[in-house]
Amino acid sequence: MNNRVKLALEDVVDVIKSSRLCMFLAWFDIRIRYRRSKIGPFWITISMAIFIIALGVVYSKLFNMAPDEYLPNLAAGYLFWTLIAATISEAPTIFIDNAAYLKDMKINLLVFVFRALARNTIIFLHNALFIMFVCFYFKIWPQLQTLLVIPGLFLVLLNLFWITLFFGIVGARYRDLAPIIQSMVQVLFFVSPITWLPKLVGEDSWVVMFNPIAYFLDLTRAPILNQTPALSSWLITAGISIIGFAVSLLLYAYKRDRIVYWI
């Protein structure tokens, strides 16, 4: 095995062993961000709830859909979208923002990737309280297929890990990537089935078939609404994660020693 690849794999094993430390650092980031606030990150949940309710009332009429069908889909879709969008938006500057640490000490670069993903996941769990309220209001009670949200979310987090690593390396070398990603995230919001349902454009539409976000949302939103995700969503998301990890780890293996000089 190539020595560089071996070192990269050792970093992966090391960051898994250091997962508790990464979770602590992620929680510390949140406490610092909201240290003078009485309700902390729940402000994000409140603003998300207001946005979903306002949008749901208007768009349910525009799409001529019953609120009890549209609002749960919108709420669940937007919940997981916030996790995806926040992680992707931070990715290009993940190493740049931690330049002070990288220049002063020798540290596993994957720690910063895990830390960012853990921070966004904790915020996601706060926001999930609103989805519980929505499900309770519309009498969507947990069933057996609801448990599928756990492996679905795990697969999505695996993809977000390699995406953060890949964009973080490229973003450290090319600073133009950050504004490009910001613009791309805005476009993805409108072309992904978040504020609209796939059946409105057709399941075989290219907007759905060639959009990875559509498969991510199907794996996570469908179980929440007591629906079974499509088999294609499992296969395609797993395939994306395998290919993505292979590419990003190879890039990391050959560029890990250069990142500190780029930032």
pLDDT tens, residue by residue, 229-239? 999 999 999 99
Query: What whole-number distance in Å separates Cα of residue 107 and Cα of residue 105?
Result: 6
pLDDT tens, residue by residue, 27-45? 888 777 776 666 666 777 8
Query: What whole-number distance in Å separates Cα of residue 215 and Cα of residue 217?
Result: 5
Contact 86, 190 (CB under 8 A): no
Taking the CA atoms of 35, 39, 45 and 50 in sequence, report the sign of the dihedral they define.
negative
DSSP 135-164: HHHTT----GGGGGHHHHHHHHHHHHHHHH
DSSP 170-182: HHHH-TTHHHHHH
Query: What pLDDT does 80 receive?
Result: 94
Q: Where are the domains of the chain?
A: 3-262
Mean pLDDT score of the chain = 88
Query: What pLDDT does 41 receive?
Result: 65
Query: What whole-number distance in Å separates Cα of residue 174 and Cα of residue 167?
Result: 10
Average of pLDDT values for 125-149? 89
